[in-house]
Chain A
């Protein structure tokens, strides 16, 4: 019974969780607190944990709640699976439709223009995601600004410098890799703020 409730709750969150990430949080909060699977304090904790661990917040919450509600790994598997399932079904259908449409309407003005407009809207969405993260919690002091500027410059390095030798190109490419930049920023943070 508990497992069924868990499945239904997270299926619902997955189905209505448009926009992902923080938009999903209020939905999870409502479901989880209504069933008493977590206390208010535990919920705040899991949000904090989600922010220092990798992965989407929705998945983190589902995994955590699944375990703490049932005390078993299978609760985690079930809740996480239920969370992913609705998106999986709908997104697969979207992919199929997209594939058929791109093949059939390759020269259709309406279809191509809609895609082009959507691409510009997405630029706006990404810009908004960056703007929403510029908060006092993210930029705590001048060091934050320095780290931001450094990572920004390193990321656009391949567009700024075009070395002729393949070795130089390789070095630039490696230096601008997001994984390396995240690790370096973390290391810098450790030495600045510890």
Chain B
């Protein structure tokens, strides 16, 4: 399990160009679709938490997945053993190491070889092809995610209204350059207030 976590995040770390959100489609593919460590709803929860905490989104997500997977496998297998308590932290360590290692090694090699960077035309040509592809990779899973965002069942009224909030958030960040952290804070307040108001209306 530890090796699987390390290997998965090594793959994610190696093929992420541009960092941050470009990593998400890969993580989704490997962790949600392939390994089934968490489901799509939990995946969206994870992004919210990773965004709200300081630090890099990619590393934060590695910590979240490592912790969840580690804690779950402890519960299912070796309960009571002393090593079991350390297991989630070992899982976190292997995921984080996997995520960080590729860029660490490559940058170190570059720092040691070149003192200043001279753009290689071949690399630049490859990157010109990759950049629009990354945009498509980020945008394409949005529709599928939208259907998964509206769970669990007992609380699912008002989905269309919430989608308009998604749109508002996107526009605020894109055009008004509002920091995503403020969006997260505003969302929490909005959720608490509307749940409170909703409860009042129902009891009347």
Would B44 and A122 count as touching, CB distance under 8 A?
Answer: yes
Would A21 and B20 count as touching, CB distance under 8 A?
Answer: yes
Would A42 and B107 count as touching, CB distance under 8 A?
Answer: no
Closest Cβ–Cβ distance, residue B152 to chain A (whole Å): 6
Would A134 and B107 count as touching, CB distance under 8 A?
Answer: no
Would B54 and A18 count as touching, CB distance under 8 A?
Answer: yes
Instruction: Please report which residues of chain B, range 90-115, place their CB below 8 angstroms from some CB of chain A when the two chains form the complex.
Output: 92, 96, 99-100, 102-104, 106-108, 110-112
A interface majority secondary structure:
helix
**Is the C-beta of B3 less than 8 angstroms from some C-beta in chain A?**
no
Would B139 and A152 count as touching, CB distance under 8 A?
Answer: yes
**Is the C-beta of A33 less than 8 angstroms from some C-beta in chain B?**
no
Docked CA distance A117–B192 (Å) = 9
Would B138 and A129 count as touching, CB distance under 8 A?
Answer: yes
Closest Cβ–Cβ distance, residue A11 to chain B (whole Å): 11
**Is the C-beta of A133 less than 8 angstroms from some C-beta in chain B?**
yes
Would B132 and A148 count as touching, CB distance under 8 A?
Answer: yes
Would B165 and A194 count as touching, CB distance under 8 A?
Answer: no
Interface string of B113-138 (1 = CB under 8 A from A): 00011010111111111111111111
Docked CA distance A112–B108 (Å) = 44
A45, A126, A179, most chain B CB atoms within 10 A: A126
Would B21 and A80 count as touching, CB distance under 8 A?
Answer: no
* Given A122-B48, A129-B20, residue A186 in contact with residue B130 (CB < 8 A): yes
Would A118 and B188 count as touching, CB distance under 8 A?
Answer: yes
Chain B residue with Cβ nearest A123: B166
Interface string of A96-128 (1 = CB under 8 A from B): 101100000000011011111111111111111
Indicate which residue in B92, B117, B154, B162 contacts A117 across the interface (CB closer than 8 Å).
B162
Number of B positions contacting A (CB below 8 A): 114
Indicate which residue in B110, B142, B162 contacts A127 across the interface (CB closer than 8 Å).
B142
Docked CA distance A185–B15 (Å) = 12
B44 / chain A contacts, CB cutoff of 8 Å = 118-119, 122-123
Docked CA distance A22–B173 (Å) = 13
Would A115 and B45 count as touching, CB distance under 8 A?
Answer: yes
Indicate which residue in A88, A110, A124 contacts B195 across the interface (CB closer than 8 Å).
A110
Residues of B within 8 A of A (CB): 11, 13-21, 23-26, 29, 41, 44-45, 47-60, 63-64, 67-68, 71, 89, 92, 96, 99-100, 102-104, 106-108, 110-112, 116-117, 119, 121-146, 148-152, 154-156, 162-163, 165-174, 179-181, 183-184, 187-188, 190-192, 194-196, 199
- Name 27 A/B residue pairs within 8 A (Cβ), A-sorted: A19-B51, A20-B55, A21-B18, A21-B56, A46-B117, A50-B19, A54-B15, A56-B20, A56-B59, A63-B104, A86-B55, A91-B64, A114-B191, A119-B45, A122-B44, A122-B51, A124-B166, A125-B173, A125-B183, A126-B142, A144-B132, A148-B135, A152-B140, A155-B25, A156-B141, A159-B144, A187-B129
Give 9 nearest A-B pairs by CB, closest first.
A189-B129, A87-B55, A55-B103, A124-B169, A185-B133, A21-B20, A128-B173, A117-B191, A129-B21
